[in-house]
Structure 1
Amino acid sequence: MADNDYSFGTRNDPPVDQDNRADYRLTARARAILELESGMPEEATSEARELVCGIRDISASGLCLSSGEPLSLGALLPASVSLGNHAEPFGLIVEVVWCRPHESGFLVGVRIIESDQTAYVEWVEAVASAMDQD
């Protein structure tokens, strides 16, 4: 999959009623935990700084998150995504594509990065399965 296959939005977003994404999106009961800062590996007591986000919608290649704080464009972050109908969370790497104020927080568009060290394939399969059920 090429990087340009995912057009989740940019700073020049079209009006809200238009959709720039190449993939069909689903609403889901889900949450994502983003690791904003990792702990020191040599210190067993050091903790990572995590941000719990709600998920507005999902697709095979990205997520729209509801966040309590802004995220830097281009940031690559480890994410643990829990879907309501899956027992185990999906360990993914996401890239922040856009971030804008919304109500009392921020809406954040992230692209899921394909990686062998993550649950990328399982994620794509889970989204495909969810689409079959609709």
Structure 2
Amino acid sequence: MGSIPDPWAYNLEDELEQMRELVERIQSQGSATQYSETSRRKILTVTANGRGELVDLAFRGTAYRSLPPAELSHLILETAEKARARGRQAAMDQIAQIAPDAAISPDLFDPKAGFEEFVRAMSEAFDAPATESESKGSS
């Protein structure tokens, strides 16, 4: 005779599969989400994706050529950071719709974070609410 199936094992496998599907959806939506920010002087527009990676930088007209290099550099960096921050926020807002109970950290979308960090952060995000409710239930 075979061994008796363990219902816990099935539950864990189901949860793992759901987690994989959610991670795939989040990654694809994060990469697909884009946000553009135009500089305060309307000289350039920077576009970033949901992971904060720069996707495009477009200059408008030729006014940027008359700016001192330090000022142009500052304008590019300032506009790029705003686009990156808003792109990441837009991705987090989309994730909140997909998984409203997840405690997602903005660092999750840092372009320097690798896949392992992404999966670990996702695991922690989904474990945190369950752990809090379990501790409240046992008090």
Give the structure with the higher percent strand: 1
Same-fold status (TM-score > 0.5): no
Q: Could you state the TM-score of these two structures normalised by the residue count of structure 1?
A: 0.28
The TM-score with structure 2 as length reference comes to 0.27
